[in-house]
Structure 1
Amino acid sequence: MDSIKQSFRQFSNERFEQRFAEIKREVLDDRHVRSFLNSNPGLTKEQTENGINELYQYKEQWKNCDYCPGLDECPNLMSGYQPVPALYRGEIQLEYKPCLLKKKEDERRRQASFVQSLYIPKEMTEVTFDDFHEDNPSRIEACTKAMAFCADVNPGEDGQGLYIHGPFGVGKSFLVGAIANYLAEAETSTMIVYAPDFFRELKNGISDGSYQDKLNLVKQAQVLILDDIGAETMSNWIRDDILGALLQFRMMEKLPTIFTSNFNLDELEIHLSSTQRGGVERVDQLKAKRILERIRHLNKVIDMKGENKREK
C-alpha cells in the first residue's frame, strides 16, 4: 500500500504543499476516518497530523472493501484483512482483522479439513436468491419460503427448519446453496453436509477415533443442511445412533435443520423403516415414526416440482 509520500512523487516541489493539503483534506473528509476521529474526541491536532499516513492507508484500503472485488482479488495490504485504527502510546496505528469473506472461507476450510463430506460443488458456493429467475410457480413458491426462513431464522431461540423435497434436478441443492450464502452474509454459520457421504464417513470414523468429534461438529452447527437425505443405504445404526441422536440434540438446543430429499415425508418414513436386515419390523416402524414426528413438528415442507434442469 503506497504512503502519501509515494503518491507525491509525480508532482514537482512547488506543487508538493498544495497536493499534500488536498490529500490531507480528502483523508479527513473520508467517512471512515471521520467516524474514527469522532469516536476519539481526545485526539490532538498534532496526533492527527502525525498519524495522517496511517489514516490515508486506512481510507484507501477501506475504499477497496467498500467496492470489494472478492477474496481472491483483494488488493489490500493483507489480503482478506481490513484495517482498524487504534491508539498505541498516543500514536495512531493500524491493526488488521479478517473480513467477513475471510472468516467465512477460513471456517469453511477448517470444517472441510475435518469433515470431508462437507465438500460443496462450486456453483452452490456462488448462488444467490437473485439467480432464481423462474416462471415455474413451484420454484417461485419454494424460493419465497426459503427467503422467509432466512428472514426469521434464530438459532438457539427457534429450531424451525425446512424439509425440501422433489424429483431429481429441480433445484433443491441450488436452493439450499442460496440459503447458506444468504445466511453467511448475515454472519449466521451454516453447514451443508451431503448425507450419504457423511454417514459413510462417520462409520469410518469409528476405527480412526474421529467419530464423536465429527458428529459433535455437525450436531452443533447453527444451521445444518442435510442434503439428499434418503439416498443412503439405511441401517439401524444410521437411523437410531446418528440421525435420531442428531435430531434430538438439535431439537433440544433449538437449532434449525434443513433437509433436501427425493422423498416426501411419507416416503422417508418408509425408507427409515426398511433396514439391511430385510423386511419391516414393528420396532423399526416405531423408531422411524418417532424421527418423522420430530421432522414434521420442526420443519416447514417445501414441495418442489418442475423439469429436470440437469438434462438441459
Structure 2
Amino acid sequence: MDSIQSSMKGMMEGTHWEERYEAMKQAVWQDPRVQQFMKAHPEITENEMLRELTKLYHFTKEWSNCDACPGLDACPNTMQGYQPHLSLERSGLTLTYHPCKLKRKAEEESRRRNLIQSYSIPKDVLQATFQDISFEKGEAERNEAVTSALKFAREVEPGVDGRGLYLYGSFGIGKTFLAGAISNELAHRDISSMIIYVPDFFREMKQSVAEGTVQTKLDEVKDAEVLILDDLGAETMSGWVRDDILGVILQHRMLEKLPTIFTSNFDFQELEDHLAYSHKGGTERMKAKRIMERIRPSVQGLFLSGKNRRES
C-alpha cells in the first residue's frame, strides 16, 4: 500500500506538475469532508491548510476508497480496514486511523470464534446460529426443544447455575447443529464453550496415557465454562473411559456448577444400558447408574423429532 508521501509523489510525477498540483488542490478543497472540517475550525487559515496539503490529499483519497468500498479483503487503504480522521492539534493537522464498520464486525466475529473451542467438529456446526434453524409445521416437540435451547443459551450462568441440556433423538435430525447454535449464542454473551466429538476425544485420551498428557487434557475439558459432549453413546465404552474420564469430568463440573450439554441418539435408559456394558463381558450396572446420577439430575432433557435432514 502507498504511504502518504508516495501517494503525493505519484500525483506529481511526469510533466505539467503545476497543473497537477492545482487540480489536486482544487479536488481537496472541494471535498465535502474537508469543507466540513474547515467550517468546524474557522481558526485555521488557508495557508496553514496548504502546508498540510499532503495529509489532506491522503485523507480524501482514502475516504474515496471507502465511499466505493470493495469489501474488507480488497480494501486498498494504506491500513486495510481503517479510515482516516482529521483533528487539529497544536502542532497542526493530525491524521488518526480508526477501524471501519466492516473491520469492527470482522474483529468481533473473530473474538467470538475464539470463545468457541472445538474438537473434531465440522465447520458448518461451528458457524451455526439459531437464525439457521427453521420451525417446522407438525413438529411441535422439535420446535419446543429449539425454543428451550435458545432460552438456555440466553439465560445460563456458569458457576451459578450448573444445569445443562440433554439433546437426544434419531440420526440426522440436527442435534449437533443445534449445539453449535447454542455455542454461538453463548459467545454473544461472552461465555466461552468447548464442543467435543466424544468418540474421537475418548480415543485421544487413551493415546494420551503413553504421552503422559491425560491430566492436562482432562483439566482443560473439566474447566470449560460450558462443555458440549457431542454424540455420547457412539463411542466404544470401557470401564476406564467411563469411570476415570467421563465420571471425573462430570463430577468436577457438577461440584463447580458448570453446565454440560450432551447430544446423543440414546434416551436416558438407553444411555445407562450403554454405559453398563463391559467390553470384557457382562455388565456393570451400578457404575453406569453412578454416571447417570451425574447426568440425569443436572440436565433438561430435550427430545428432537423429525426427519433425517442428511437425506433431504
Query: Quick check: TM above 0.5?
Result: yes
> What's 1:119 paired with?
120
- Distance in structure 2 (CA, Å) of the matches to 1:27 and 1:222: 52
Alignment of 1:46-65 (within 5 A): none
Deviation readout 1:144-180 (Å, 9 max, x if unpaired): 0110011101112211110000011111111111111
1:168-220 residue CA offsets vs partner (Å, 9 max, x unmatched): 11111111111112222332211110001100101101111222211111111
Partner residue, 2:29:
18
Which residue matches 1:242? 245
In structure 1, distance between residues paired with 2:184 and 2:131: 12
What is the identity, as a one-letter code, of the residue corresponding to 2:207?
N
**Structure 1: runs of 5+ lacking an equivalent:** 30-44, 113-117
Unaligned stretches of 5+ in structure 2? 12-19, 86-90
Matches within 5 A, 1:88-103: 99-103=107-111
Could you say what secondary structure the match of 1:301 adopts? strand
Counting only pairs closer than 5 Å after superposition, residues 121-160 of structure 1 correspond to structure 2 as: 121-133=122-134, 134-135=136-137, 136-160=139-163
Tell me the TM-score normalised to structure 2 length. Answer: 0.72
Q: How far, CA to CA, are the matches of 1:250 and 1:288 in structure 2? A: 18
How far apart, CA to CA, are the structure 1 residues paired with 2:141 and 2:293? 25
- 1:290 deviation in Å? 2.1
**Equivalent position of 2:288 in the other structure:** 288
Contact 2:194 2:221 in 1 (8 A): yes
Question: Quick one: distance in 1 between partners of 2:39 and 2:216?
Answer: 51
Pick closer, same or farther for the CA change 1:77–1:160 going to 2, 3 Å. farther
1:311 counterpart residue number: 311
Structure 2 vs 1, CA of residues 272 and 3 (structure 1 numbering), >3 Å: closer, same or farther? same
Q: Which residue of 1 aligns with 2:233?
A: 230
Aligned-partner SS, 1:203: helix
Query: Aligned equivalents of 2:186 and 2:34: distance in 1?
Result: 39
Instruction: Quote the residue 1:161 is aligned against.
Output: 164
Check 1:254–1:19 CA distance in 2 against 1; reply closer, same or farther (3 A cut): farther
2:242 is paired with a residue of what secondary structure? helix
Are 2:115 and 2:193, in contact at CA under 8 Å, matched by a contact in 1? Answer: no
Q: CA–CA distance in 2 between the matches of 1:308 and 1:213?
A: 38
Question: 1:8-87 counterparts in 2 under 5 A?
Answer: 12-19=23-30, 22-23=33-34, 25=36, 73=73, 75=75
**Deviation, structure 1 residue 22:** 2.2
Identity %, equivalent residues: 42
Q: What corresponds to 1:173 in structure 2?
A: 176
Residue 17 of structure 2 aligns with which residue?
none
User: How far has the Cα of 1:138 moved from its partner?
Assistant: 2.5
Count matched residues: 273
Cα distance between partner residues in 1 of 2:35 and 2:120: 48
Distance in 2 (CA, whole Å) between partners of 1:27 and 1:296 is 69
Q: Secondary structure, in 3 states, of the residue corresponding to 2:295? A: helix
**1:294 counterpart SS class:** coil
Distance in 1, matches of 2:296 and 2:256, equals: 17
Instruction: Judge conservation of contact 1:155–1:222 (CA < 8 Å) in 2.
Output: yes
Deviations 1:209-260 (A, max 9, x none): 2222111111111111100001111111111101110011111221111000
Preserved contact between residue 28 and residue 34 of structure 2 (Cα < 8 Å): no
Question: Is residue 173–residue 309 contact of structure 2 (8 Å, CA) maintained in 1?
Answer: yes
| Structure with max Cα Rg | 2
8 Å CA contact 1:163, 1:301 repeated in 2: yes
Q: State the superposition RMSD in angstroms.
A: 4.1
TM-score by length of 1: 0.72
Q: Alpha-carbon deviations, 1:78-107, whole Å to 9, x = none?
A: 77x889x9xxxx988669999233334556
